[in-house]
Every structure is written in structure tokens, then in C-alpha cells.
Structure 1
Amino acid sequence: MAHLTRPTQYNIEDSNIALLGSDLEKHVREHAGDKEAAWQAAGKEPGTQIWRIEQFHVKEWPKSHYGHFYDGDSYIVLHTYKKDPDNEELFYDLHFWLGDETSQDEAGTAAYKTVELDDHLGGKPVQYREIQGYESSRFLSYFPKFVSLHGGVASGFHHVTEPPPDNSRRLYLISSAQVPGKATGHLQVREVPTEGASILEGGVYVLDMGHNVWQFNTRAAPGKAKFKTAEFVQSLVNERQSQCESTVYDEHGQGAGLFLSELGLEAVGPPQVVAFATEKALFRLSDSTGQLAFEPVSPPTESSLSPDDAFVLDDSSNPTNPAIYVWIGANASLTERRLALQYGQHYLYKRKQGGGRTALATHIVKINQGQETDAFKSSISGS
């Protein structure tokens, strides 16, 4: 029997997301001239389309699964819309989403294929890199609710309403956040490791044991999250035709110790605190001298941009829209266009290495000149 090896897992702390110089890059470039059948129906009309990466190939994700993502996979999400309902012109937001357990091959293929789809749509989309657990509010707004679960194409996957197998449990972190276009709080369900280290102050959790479903509210949990969690728990009970019982525990209330002891805890852990800050900075990527150079420019405002080059704007300390923007000038060279996102990723890795996963998960947004978002305009104007 052949020896089976697990695909190498993608590491967010690896600066080389596109795996330049790797076998994956060679494989993708060898097939660069191939016509990707999946793109023929992409971006034809307003709406959201999703594809999953499977063995270097782009596979359409069933519409019944929209809003559900698995941590072992990588996905490409295209949102097509009109800025003016009376105008037929279409605009695009293009995201690639990387799960915590996705492989390097899947992550790299998603990055390459996103560029391919961008080219197919004439370079018009605004591109976003999405890391599991740190999704942008724009990405989340496409779905009535967002669910991330363990599993994927390599290991198999389950639906959130299915009870866990006998003698096993599942733990979910539930949150409610305000996202664009949603009048009420947006439900987010994230499966986390079923262990005590997952329970942190400020969260609301659901422990699914099949016949028993327990909700646990930590002391500092927001009221909206508690309410949304209660709705989620009731949906599980209803889906299982009332073949399970639900119980709610509050951190300092009666029975809280029973919940904690199931996970080997005596008390709730402190909230995760992330502190990192950088000054806004702008960098030019240019090959005008015959060699590619990546150099700082000042001031980090619109007056420093040139249509002949590509630029990286670090506004990761923005309290409202933290991001690394990759801006491509209208006359930028092919090399600058193709490598700008890679330089943005490499810059983020170098600058945020000491800030942990949260810092490295900062959104990277690629924008072509003429397609600037309001958030970018605000950042580059200095307001």
C-alpha cells in the first residue's frame, strides 16, 4: 500500500502566500493559458458566486452551502453589484478565503486563481484576502449568517445541525456583529477546538453533545450575542425534532461549574488582548530603472501616487477599517501588476511578525486605479 502523506498546511506566518518558485507556481504557470471553465459564468449579473479549490481545480460551491465554510479548505468569492440601479455597469468585489487548516497548495491556488479571475473581468474587481476568524465586514455582509466548521474536501465535513457522533462533542463560539446592509446583528457561528483554552471572557459558547445542547454566557458577553445564541440553540433543537434538550448557563450563575468542568476548567480565561500599532506608511513598487524596487515614499497621501507604478499603503492601525492596500496605477508594468500583491503580503509579514496571528491576518485589499473604495479614499486622503 502506498504511503499517504498529509498535504502541507498553509501557515499564515509564511510571507510567501503565492509560493513563488515552488512546484505549485510551476504547475499553475504551465496551465496559465488554459481556459478556466468556471469563469465563463462569473460576474454576468448582480449577486454572489463561490468556488472551492479542490486538487488545483476550481469547483462551484452549491448555493445551498453559501455562508458555510470549512477550515480545511480555500474558497474564491465574487460579489457582483451595480453602484447605480439605473446604470447597467457592473462592479466587483473579489475575495479569497483561507481556512485555518487549508493546505499550502490550496491557499496558493486560490491566490493564483483569484488573479486569473481578476484578469478575466478586465482587472476591474477590488481584491481582498480573507483569513478565517478575521473576515472583513464586507465579506460577511454577503450572507444571512456566517458559519465556519471543522473539516473540508480532504477530511470530509458535516452540517452544523447534525448531532456529533456518539461519545464526541462540538464547541461553537457565537457572535453578533453589525455589518453593512444589515439592520440587525449578523449571526456568526464558529466551531472552535473542544477544549478549555477556547473559553475566553467576553464570548458566548454552545457545547453540542447531541442529546444535550448547552449555552454558556461569560460575564462580559454582549446582550445581542446572548440573544442570537439562544436563537441558534433553538434552531438546533427544532432541526432535531426536539430530540435534544437545551440549557443556558451564566458564568456566575447556578450550574456554571458543570459546563466548565466538561471542558476541564475551573474558571473562564481572560480575554485575548492584541496590541500593535504602526504609523501610516506608503511604499512604491517600480521597475522603471530596469530593476524592481520597493521603497518608502512620503507623504502617505494621494499626492504621492503615480499612475506609472504600484503602491502599498499601510493603514493597519486605522480603528475603523484596518488594512494593507495594494494600489495599481493605470500604467503600471506587467511585472508590477503581477507582483504587487505579493510585496504587500511580504511587507505585512515583515512588519507584523511580532504581533501574532491577529496582526498577520490584517486585510490585504488590492485596488486598480479608478476602482478605489471609500475606505481607501479616506485612508489616502489622510482623513
Structure 2
Amino acid sequence: MNVVAIPKDQYGTFYDTDSYIIYASSQYGQPCGVDTVSRDVKSPCMEYHIHFWLGSRTNPDKSGVAAYKTVELDGFLNFLTTQHRETEGNESPRFLSYFKSGIRILRPELIQENHAKLYRVKGKRIPVLNEMPQLSWDYFNSSDVFIIHTPNNIFIWTGRAANAIEKLHATKIAKDLKEEFNINNIVFVDDGYEKTLSDDNKREFNKYLCLDKRLILPENNDVEKNGTCQRSSIRLYRCSENNGKYRVAEIRSGPLEQSDLTADDVFIVDHEIYGIWVWVGKRANEKERSEALRNARGFVKKKKYPSNTKVTRVVDGYEPTEFKMLFSTWKDDVKGGKPSILLSKYDAITMEDRPTLAAETQLIDDGSGTLTIWRIKQSHIVEIPKRTPRLLFSGDCYIVLYTYSTSSDQKHLLYCWLGLHATQEDINSTTQKLNEIDDELGQLGFQARIIQNRETAHFLQLFKGKLTIFKGKGTDYDDPAGRDMNIAIIHIKQEREPPTFTGFFPSWDKKFWKVSINLSSNHHSKKAIRN
């Protein structure tokens, strides 16, 4: 039930049992996607979007955490973002536009080597590759394109009424799969002509889909296929809260004018099958801001719209183009603005010398504040004495409290550091204890989650370049008698050893020395071995 960062090479791959959060920022009106290069932007006209995507088989706990974390991230960004609720198979055009090569929706229980799989290819502009529950004729129909992925071949099966663009998408995806899985052949199969394949290909195809049991469903006459659009009316509702009761009153039906919106209130634009938009005025209270999306979902349920109806929250002054298009007139007044993150004093020297690094890492100061560290030990927290070296263990979890002063008051920053080999029990305890400490501080602290090997620049700064991470659990090295147990073998292998290390040696040749250190409670040695 935690938020975990996904490697960039996996962007666009989703599992239908999970929930995801996607954050995208760009200059106003400019495209953004997985291939967009990050750069410093001086223009204040920016737009920020947060999507939370729900797989068709995700559970309420995961979807609840995704929604909660989306609101939390929005607050972290000063409530300037547009929030989108996305569901599998009903993704918005903006969401799909981030992934120019398309998205893959997979079933995690089917991840097996040498296991044949069936995919359906959908989408005119952006392809969506959807993995079917099993390889069976039951999922075939004459209006779609399917990919049968076997250990030796990739078959592209094309329905007789399939869209030509989807055929092209399927070919490109098949080429990617061929390279990815090192498969020999791509075989094209036309609906109704399966038995005209060559003997080898027909034998391979029949192994996974028996040709004698072939049964193809008729054409699927959906909105996208027949090219017609269902008519939809548009209505505007004003939302208000009175004595704890949330009320929604209809103001007018379309066409809508920008002047219908007032900055003191929250409004819902009901576009029926094309989605629900909730607009938050700049003078609306914080509760209405944070609960706008949830209240819009309640509106969907009350109207008995499908559960996959798109729901989007927009903020006064930061409306995206697709929202403005719902109104007959709209005066463009893009304010832009950048979220202020961790506002406090900055290290002026660092900011001047490395402005890009400072912007990316949000270094709040020079790390000269007060540091307190606790280790999670059997559901309890144990404070690490300040005289003890700053050592962390990969099998443990730690809570780090950093207290620093600003020009006006004192602030707190709470880090929780999770070792790669920490148990789930310790991780859960860390989250619980972190909230308890935050409550004791009057919820005045900012919480940040750190995973081993992904430490931020400011977190490393707190340890003054002396952070050392050992394998195992710290409890394995605790001495029952209370004495320090210094047992370690350290291999220094970076190109340039840090000054904190070279300072141990009176004469240090920076180019040629390698060092092996063996420390124990009974024997101390420093041995330098020339290269």
C-alpha cells in the first residue's frame, strides 16, 4: 500500500491489478510525454496534471491510496494541478498522448517464460495493447486486431472489419515484441483464411488455437468503429455545503459561458458520457478544494452514470484547453506560476554554482540544523546516540528528524529511510511511527520517503558526506553489554575517494592508491596497498 517509483524504461506498462499515479508538467499548451527532455523553463505559464489510473482488477485499498496520494501531491504543489481519474479502457486523450508508442495493459499472473499470450490492439491515434485472460477464440471478433505471442512466432490476426490504423499499430508492436523476446518470425493471419497458412505456421497456430473450434464474434459496432458520436447535453451545477450537508444545484444547461463561473464557489460541468468536470474557484475553501474530486465521484454515482466515467478537477486560472472548449466563449488569461516546494532559506553558494541541481533537488539549506535518528526495532523505535557514527543497515528502517530555522520560525523535516532488505513489518511500523512523531510535532513537519540507493541530495547533505550503508540488520551488531561493536570490511571502489576517507592517511596519492580497511573490536589496522 505504498507509492513506489517506476523506472523510466517501464513507463507505459500497466498491470490491471494495480493503481498508478502519473504527474506531468509542461509549458502551457505544449505537449508532454515520456520522451520529453527536462529543462529549466523561465516562462511562468506552466500547467500541471496529475492522473491516477485504476486497473480493471485493482482493489479498493489500492485505488483509495492512489486517490489520497493524488490529493496529497496536489497540496504539495499548492493546489495548482488538474486532477484526472482514469480507468482501464477509458483513458483520456491527454493521458494517452504521454505515450506516443502506446501503452501495454498486462495481467501479472500471466508473466511466464515460454507461455503463449493473446493481446488485443485498440486505438486510432495511440495504440493500447491489452492482454487477454487466456488464449481462446472466445475473445476474437471480426472488428479487432489480435496478436498471438508464442515462443517461436508472433501471429497478427486481423478481423475482416478491423480498422486499417489498428493493423498498422499491431505491425509496429509485433516488431517491438520480436526484438524484445528474440523471436524468429512474424506471421500475418487474415480472418477466415487461417487454413491457408503454410504447413509449419498452421501447425504452430493450431497448437495454441484449435482451428476446428474457430468461432468469431460479429463486428463490434461501438462508437469508435462506426465513426458516429453519441449526442450529449451539457449542464452546469453549483456545489455548496450547508450544516455539513453537500448540495448540488443545477444552474443552467448549455451552451455555457465563462461568466457563469464565480471564484467563490465550486461548479460541476456535466458532459455525461464524455466526462464530469469539477471547477474550483480561487476563493473556495481548502476543504472544498481537497474533496472536489471525491464529491464529483459522488455526483457520478447519484446520476447513475457508468463507474468508468471520466472525472477531472480543474483550478480557477489554470484550466486546460479541453475544459475551455466546453464553453462557447472563454477569455484566455493564463496566469501560470510555479509550485513553491519546501519554501525556506537556500544555500546561496550552491544555488549560484549549480542552479539546475538546486531546482531539481530543492535543497532547503546547508544541512547545518539539528539531526535526530531512530531505528525501527521490533515495532519500537530506538534512538541512535549522536556519538555513534552515522551508519545505516540495508535490513533496517530509520526515521530521521531534521530541525532547521528560518527567518521567521523553526521547521521540521521528517525522512523515513527504507533499506532494500527491510521486512514489510518494519516498513509498516516505520509509517506508523512517522505519523506518531509528526503528531507530536503538531503536524508541522514535512514528510519525505527515501528508498536505499535513491537518496536525495539534501538527505545526503545531512550526513556531511559520511553516510555509510552496511548489509544486514543493525541489531545483529548490537552488543548486549552496551559496548560499541566495530566490525566491518569496507571496499572503496569509487574513482575519487572522498576527503573524509583520505584524511586518515598523512600522504595520499590521489591517482594510485586503493585501500582495504579491516576494523574489529580487538584489532585495528589501516593497510594501504599500492596499485
Give the TM-score of the pair, scaled to structure 2: 0.52
Instruction: Give the C-alpha shift of residue 236 in structure 1.
Output: 2.4
Aligned partner of 1:69 in structure 2 is 14
For 1:344, what is the secondary structure of its paired residue? helix
Task: Pick the aligned partner of 1:225 from 154, 159, 166.
Answer: 166
Aligned partner of 1:189 in structure 2 is 129
- Paired residues for 1:129-278 under 5 Å: 129-152=85-108, 158=111, 164-166=112-114, 168-178=115-125, 186-194=126-134, 195-242=136-183, 244-255=184-195, 261=210, 264-271=213-220, 273=222, 278=232
Instruction: Give the C-alpha shift of residue 74 in structure 1.
Output: 0.6
Residue type at the aligned position of 1:145: S
Q: Which has the larger radius of gyration?
A: 2
Aligned partner of 2:324 in structure 1 is 377
Q: Provide closer, same or farther for how the CA distance between residues 293 and 352 of structure 1 changes in structure 2, counting only shifts above 3 A.
A: closer
**Quick one: distance in 1 between partners of 2:216 and 2:58?**
32
**Quick one: distance in 1 between partners of 2:230 and 2:253?**
22
**Quick one: distance in 2 between partners of 1:105 and 1:332?**
29
Are the equivalent residues in 1 in contact too, given 2:106–2:130 (CA < 8 A)?
no
Query: Would you say 1:360 and 2:307 are equivalent positions?
Result: yes
**Quick one: distance in 1 between partners of 2:196 and 2:91?**
31
Task: Pick the aligned partner of 1:297 from 227, 244, 251.
Answer: 251
Task: Pick the aligned partner of 1:342 from 294, 299, 321.
Answer: 294
Are the equivalent residues in 1 in contact too, given 2:161–2:219 (CA < 8 A)?
no
For 2:79, what is the secondary structure of its paired residue? coil
Are the equivalent residues in 2 in contact too, given 1:217–1:226 (CA < 8 A)?
yes
**Quick one: distance in 2 between partners of 1:380 and 1:216?**
43
Residue type at the aligned position of 1:109: V
Are the equivalent residues in 1 in contact too, given 2:239–2:249 (CA < 8 A)?
yes
Residue type at the aligned position of 1:368: V
For 1:118, what is the secondary structure of its paired residue? helix
Q: Provide closer, same or farther for how the CA distance between residues 262 and 305 of structure 1 changes in structure 2, counting only shifts above 3 A.
A: farther
Gaps of 5+ in 1: 1-54, 159-163, 179-185, 354-358
Aligned partner of 1:25 in structure 2 is none
Aligned partner of 2:262 in structure 1 is 306
Greater relative CO (CA pairs within 8 A, separation 6+): 1
Instruction: Give the C-alpha shift of residue 341 in structure 1.
Output: 1.4
Number of aligned residue pairs: 302
Aligned partner of 2:476 in structure 1 is none
Are the equivalent residues in 2 in contact too, given 1:172–1:205 (CA < 8 A)?
yes
Query: Would you say 1:58 and 2:58 are equivalent positions?
Result: no
Gaps of 5+ in 2: 31-40, 224-228, 331-531
Q: Provide closer, same or farther for how the CA distance between residues 107 and 256 of structure 1 changes in structure 2, counting only shifts above 3 A.
A: farther
**Quick one: distance in 1 between partners of 2:192 and 2:174?**
21
Q: Provide closer, same or farther for how the CA distance between residues 262 and 326 of structure 1 changes in structure 2, counting only shifts above 3 A.
A: farther
Query: Would you say 1:104 and 2:74 are equivalent positions?
Result: no
Residue type at the aligned position of 2:20: Y
Aligned partner of 2:236 in structure 1 is 282
For 1:298, what is the secondary structure of its paired residue? strand
Give the TM-score of the pair, scaled to structure 1: 0.71
**Quick one: distance in 2 between partners of 1:256 and 1:334?**
66
Instruction: Give the C-alpha shift of residue 374 in structure 1.
Output: 1.8
Aligned partner of 2:514 in structure 1 is none
Residue type at the aligned position of 2:153: N
Instruction: Give the C-alpha shift of residue 304 in structure 1.
Output: 2.8
Are the equivalent residues in 1 in contact too, given 2:107–2:133 (CA < 8 A)?
no
Aligned partner of 2:491 in structure 1 is none
- Paired residues for 1:25-36 under 5 Å: none
**Quick one: distance in 2 between partners of 1:237 and 1:211?**
10
Are the equivalent residues in 1 in contact too, given 2:26–2:46 (CA < 8 A)?
yes
Are the equivalent residues in 1 in contact too, given 2:52–2:85 (CA < 8 A)?
yes
Give % identity. Answer: 28
Instruction: Give the C-alpha shift of residue 377 in structure 1.
Output: 1.4
Instruction: Give the C-alpha shift of residue 288 in structure 1.
Output: 5.5
